[in-house]
Amino acid sequence: MVPICDRAFSRLLEQWRALERGTSMVKLKWFDNLHQSGFNSNDDVIANDSNGKSIHQMPTNVNSTNIVWHKCSIEKMDRQELLQQKGCVIWITGLSGSGKSTLACALSRGLHARGKLTYILDGDNVRHGLNRDLSFKAEDRAENIRRIGEVAKLFADAGVICIASLISPYRMDRDACRALLPEGDFMEVFMDVPLQVCEARDPKGLYKLARAGKIKGFTGIDDPYEPPLNSEIVLQQKEGVCASPSDLAETVISYLEEKGYLKA
């Protein structure tokens, strides 16, 4: 029997079915993790309510066995009350150079000015520490995204508005992170910027190196990027038509306001 939030369960079941149809390495890794964690489609499921109280997720680390969730009387709702906001994850995905980090900072500044607590998990930055053991091959990118998803979930549970900005090129990995959170608490922001625009910006000179064959497996050049199909927010930029970072941030802030995340 697997204790799991009911909405997260239905998403996982959906993914499970997709996995059974899929064949890629990354998909197989997820499939293995699910299988080895003791979950299978015939299992009984204990569904917990998802009203802001403790959310238990299915373990995917197969080496952690005989563990029992320890509950504390101070919960997410109490922390949200203290902070006068709702903990959530804003997941910014897009090509290198699409403006993810710039938006993350503008968003953090905009929310900070409104008295809201945020924390940024930037792919580049997290790879300096927690994820420094990971390369850019598909399995490592998947692990990078999984870890950042788990950390983001902890921040959201702390009541913080967590802004994750990383390429996260695979739809399935992003959806797996979404499935970690209660419905609505994960908001995907797609930086819909053509490769030519990103490449023209090339602030770190990485596209140039990739085109010269000096970086192998660079996203958009010789590595895939799967654009989201159902993002909460799509921020489109075209050649010569780019809203300013603070205007883009305001779009996201308006969405948060409308959905009630800027009050407890």
Ligand X SMILES: Nc1ncnc2c1ncn2[C@@H]1O[C@H](COP(=O)(O)OP(=O)(O)O)[C@@H](O)[C@H]1O
Ligand Y SMILES: Nc1ncnc2c1ncn2[C@@H]1O[C@H](COP(=O)(O)OS(=O)(=O)O)[C@@H](OP(=O)(O)O)[C@H]1O
| Residues that are catalytic | 168
Can residue 99 be called a binding residue for ligand Y (CB under 6 A)? Answer: no
Can residue 123 be called a binding residue for ligand Y (CB under 6 A)? Answer: yes
| Residue range at the interface with ligand Y (CB under 6 A); choices 61-69, 97-105, 183-191, 236-244 | 97-105
Give the binding-site size for ligand X (rule: CB under 6 A).
15
Rg (CA), the chain: 19
Please say which residue, 59 or 169, places its beta carbon nearer to ligand Y.
169
Can residue 141 be called a binding residue for ligand X (CB under 6 A)? Answer: no
**CA–CA distance, 121 with 56 (Å, rounded to integer):** 22
**CA–CA distance, 131 with 127 (Å, rounded to integer):** 4
Instruction: Please choose, from the candidates 166, 2, 12, the residue with its C-alpha nearest in 3D space to the C-alpha of residue 91.
Output: 166
Please say which residue, 4 or 90, places its beta carbon nearer to ligand Y.
90
Instruction: Please choose, from the candidates 241, 251, 243, the residue with its C-alpha nearest in 3D space to the C-alpha of residue 110.
Output: 251
Q: Map the footprint of ligand X across residues 177-236, applying CB under 6 A.
A: 201, 203
Can residue 204 be called a binding residue for ligand Y (CB under 6 A)? Answer: yes
- Pick one of 124, 183, 239, 247: the residue that binds ligand Y (CB under 6 A): 124
Can residue 15 be called a binding residue for ligand Y (CB under 6 A)? Answer: no
- What's the min distance (Å) between Cβ of 18 and ligand Y? 20
**CA–CA distance, 227 with 94 (Å, rounded to integer):** 8
- What's the min distance (Å) between Cβ of 202 and ligand X? 8
Cβ atoms of 237 and 189 closer than 8 Å = no
- At 186, give phi and psi (nearest 5°): -110, 115
Write the single-letter amino acid at 241. V
| Footprint of ligand X (CB under 6 A) | 94, 96-102, 201, 203, 242-245, 248
